[in-house]
Amino acid sequence: MIPVAAGVWLARCECGATERFPEAEQGWAWVLSHPCPDEDTEQVIDLTGSNGCNCQS
Ligand SMILES: [Zn+2]
């Protein structure tokens, strides 16, 4: 869950989909229930490795 502004949280699923919510709990619920299109696609790996960020979040 990434805070992007006051009262705005950016939720990002493992599949790369993102959605903004006013509360972190809503974002977590969305991630947990997100109908990922295909977990086996290589795009998942590309999204996590192409931005040059080493942060764990
Ligand atoms: Zn997903």
Please give the full DSSP string across 22-42, using - where no structure is assigned.
SSHHHHHHHHHH---S-TTST
Per-residue pLDDT tens digits for 2-57: 999 999 999 999 999 999 999 999 999 999 999 998 756 555 555 555 556 667 66
User: Quick one: CA torsion of 56, 53, 45, 23, rounded to 10 degrees?
Assistant: 50
CA of 37 to the centre of ligand 1 (A): 7
CA of 45 to the centre of ligand 1 (A): 13
Q: Are 24 and 30 in contact (CB under 8 A)?
A: no
Domain residue ranges in the chain = 2-49
pLDDT of residue 37: 85
**What would the two tokens of residue 37 be?**
């299109």
pLDDT of residue 52: 63
CA of 5 to the centre of ligand 1 (A): 23
pTM > 0.75: yes or no: no
pLDDT of residue 41: 56
- Which residues surround the ion ligand 1 when the cut-off is CB under 5 Å? 13, 15, 17, 34, 36
